[in-house]
Each structure stands twice: as structure tokens, then as C-alpha cells.
Amino acid sequence: MKNLPKILVTPGDPSGIGYDILLSIAEKKFPAKIIAITSLELLEERAFLLKKKINLINVDLHDDDLPSNKPGTILVHDIKTHDKIEVGFPSIKHVPMILQSLDIAINACMKKYAAAMVTGPVQKNIIMKFGENFLGHTEYIANQTGGMPIMMLHAQKLRVALLTTHVPLVDVPKLITKNRIKSYIEIISDDLYKKFGINNPKINICGLNPHAGEGGYLGKEEENIIIPIITSMREKGFNINGPFSADTIFTRKDSDIILAMYHDQALPVIKTLEFGNIVNTTLGLPIVRTSVDHGTALDIAGTNKADAGSLISAINTSIAIVKQENAIKH
């Protein structure tokens, strides 16, 4: 049992469905040690509310000889807190615990005490109201680990990566640069091989403007920036094509991944197709991090209506990535 990888789960905001979906995985079997990083007391309260009889075992994630994840049990690395939860109503009083959970998981992964971390949903506005410059999990983790983080959402039918993430739309064109596109192509190609076993993946690149600029009549970014860097990177052996218009690129079946220019150019498509089964994997980091594809769903928190499908997929993906990375190393 000592050889099983440790996968850390940070369930996110306790007022949302993060605890609900975490408790729902108790009956699932994973080829790994799944350890929740949160308050044991608050998790017990949620289990009582949901009428779930689950054995929550207090452990130290740093221990090598941990108990097994038997059906009906969850291993918990406890974070002490005396703040009570009002389910469905986020509060800044929980922000320190949320951030501590992330910090513990990040530190453990960086120091190789754990193989991967899986994040649950948080309320970004509450964390920012607390005073933390928190644009999202991806940015927070990258700030502590280094690297160039790339958000990739993927499911059975589609993979999409984002050139820009949580920035106002008005700022997107300023971030469309040759150097940024070049770096993203390099990281995506490298990580799809290291993490998913896809050698020299085919990347279709989306244009920024309608009709990918329509030959310069609907914008100049394609002609001045995107097309020249695509040509340059293809000459270096990268398997890339584009730019394609956003209204047709997602109908193509000839790529391993689509690189979109901004957040809402790609996410409405993949979430319409496969919401609930999507995994958010961060490429370009020195650690393995996956996440759910949904928010805190405050309206159904504590009601037993939350679907744990995305969390289960995120955990399974993290385990598969760890296995793939270990195979390449050896």
C-alpha cells in the first residue's frame, strides 16, 4: 500500500458543494491514497447534514504508512477551525482555511510528499474581499510554484487550452503576442506528451477576431502576430495549424487540442458539450494539478443534489498523469 500515490483534495469553499462532492467519493475505489485537506469537524457536520454515514479518519499526509481508502471512509489531513458554516452563504471567515488548504497541498506536492493535488470550487469574490489578490486557483498555485500555467479543459470529445484566462476582455488583445503563443505551443506539446502520452500533438489554433480576421478586414492580430508565429513554429517541427475562425474550429475533428485566445471563446463550447465530465488540468507547472469544471453551486449545497462526476474524473486524471510521468521517467 505504500507504493500508491498520494492525491490531495482541497474541497474549496465549505459553504458550497465542495464538501458534498468530496463526501460522495467515499464509496469509490481509486488506485491511490486520496487525502482531503480541510477541517475534519466541518466535514463531519456536512456528513451529518447530508445523512451520510462515512468514517472520516484523521491522518497526517506526510506519513508513509497511511490506512487504506476502504469503502465508506475518507482520509482527512485536519485543519483546525472554530468557524461554523452557513451552507449556501460564503463568508470571508473561511478564507484563511481555504488558503491554508491550498498552501498545504502545494507545499506537499513541491516537496514530493504527495504526487498531485485536486482542487474543488471556491468563491473568488470572497477571497478577494478578504484582501487576497486571487484571480483563480491557477494563478494562485503558479505564484507559489513558478512555471507558466496553462488552463486546459478536457473531456472525452474535446481538449481546449486558453492563451488568456481571467482577464477582462478589453485586455485580451494586449496579451496576444508572438512570445506568448510560442511559449504556450512549446508547453502544450511537451506536457501532452509527458502527462498524456501524446507525441507531437496536433494543435489547432483559434483566431482572435471574427472569421480569424477576414484577411485583415476584421482585425490585424491574425496577420501581424498569429499567422507569423504559426509559420515559424511549424518550420521548427511543431504540429500546428490555423488560425481558424472560432465559429467553425470546434466542428473540426483533426486535432488533439485547440488553443483558444480567451476564456469565453472556448469554455461555453466544451461546457455545453460535456459539462459535469470535464477536468481542468493545469499545464506548465512543476506539480500535477487537476480541478473540477464547476463552481460552488450555492443553491444546491447541502441538499444531496450535487453531482461528483467532475471530481471523480479529476482524481482519475491526476492518477493517470502521475502514472504516465513515472513511466516516462523510468
157 and 135, same structural domain? no
236 and 253, same structural domain? yes
What is the three-class DSSP state of 243? strand
**How confident is the model over 48-71, as pLDDT tens digits?**
999 999 999 999 999 988 988 888
Name which of 99-103, 139-143, 148-152, 264-268 the model is least confident about: 139-143
Q: Parallel, antiparallel, or unpaired: how do β-strands 33-38 and 203-206 relate?
A: unpaired
What is the three-class DSSP state of 141? helix
239 and 131, same structural domain? no
Would you state the cell numbers that stand for residue 26, as one nine-digit string?
467515499
**How confident is the model over 228-251, as pLDDT tens digits?**
999 999 999 999 999 999 999 999
The pLDDT of 270-275, averaged and rounded, is 90
Percent composition of the chain: helix, strand, coil (DSSP 3-state, to 5): 45, 15, 40
Task: Please state the domain count of the chain.
Answer: 2
The pLDDT of 177-188, averaged and rounded, is 98
167 and 142, same structural domain? no
Q: What is the pTM of this model?
A: 0.92
143 and 154, same structural domain? no
Half-sphere exposure of 317 (CA within 13 A, CB side): 31
206 and 79, same structural domain? no
Would you state the cell numbers that stand for residue 64, as one nine-digit string?
508513509
CA 5 to chain centre: 19
Count Cβ neighbours within 10 Å for each residue of 74-97 and write b for 16 or more, e otherwise. Answer: bbbbbbebeeebebbebbbebbeb
The pLDDT of 74-79, averaged and rounded, is 97
The pLDDT of 119-146, averaged and rounded, is 86
Residues 220, 196: Cα–Cα separation, whole Å: 35
Write the DSSP assignment of 257-287 as a string of letters.
EEEESSHHHHHHHHHHHHTTS-EEEEES-SS
297 and 255, same structural domain? no
142 and 7, same structural domain? yes
Residues 163, 142: Cα–Cα separation, whole Å: 15
Write the DSSP assignment of 293-305 as a string of letters.
SS---GGGTTTT-
pLDDT at 144 over 50: yes
Domain assignment of residue 266, given as a range: 149-282
**How confident is the model over 245-255, as pLDDT tens digits?**
999 999 998 99
Confidence of residue 267 (pLDDT cuts 50, 70, 90): very high
Burial class (CB in 10 A: 0-12, 13-18, 19+), 181: buried
The single residue listed with the C-alpha cell 471523480 is 312
Per-chain mean pLDDT for the chain:
93
**How confident is the model over 97-107, as pLDDT tens digits?**
999 999 999 99
Confidence of residue 306 (pLDDT cuts 50, 70, 90): very high
116 and 21, same structural domain? yes
133 and 10, same structural domain? yes
Residues 262, 21: Cα–Cα separation, whole Å: 29
pLDDT of residue 2: 56
Would you state the cell numbers that stand for residue 6, as one nine-digit string?
498520494
94 and 11, same structural domain? yes
Which of residues 224 and 64 earns the better pLDDT score?
Answer: 224
CA angle 267, 273, 278 (to 5 degrees): 65
Count Cβ neighbours within 10 Å for each residue of 14-23 and write b for 16 or more, e otherwise. Answer: bbbbbbbbbb
pLDDT of residue 1: 47
Residues 177, 237: Cα–Cα separation, whole Å: 20
Say which residues have a Cβ less than 8 Å from residue 86's Cβ, sequence separation at least 6.
Answer: 15
Name which of 129-133, 266-270, 273-277 the model is least confident about: 129-133
The pLDDT of 77-95, averaged and rounded, is 92
Residue pair 25/311 in contact by the 8 Å Cβ criterion: yes
112 and 154, same structural domain? no
pLDDT of residue 330: 64
CA angle 264, 275, 182 (to 5 degrees): 45
Q: What is the CATH number of the domain that holds 38?
A: 3.40.718.10
What is the three-class DSSP state of 150? strand
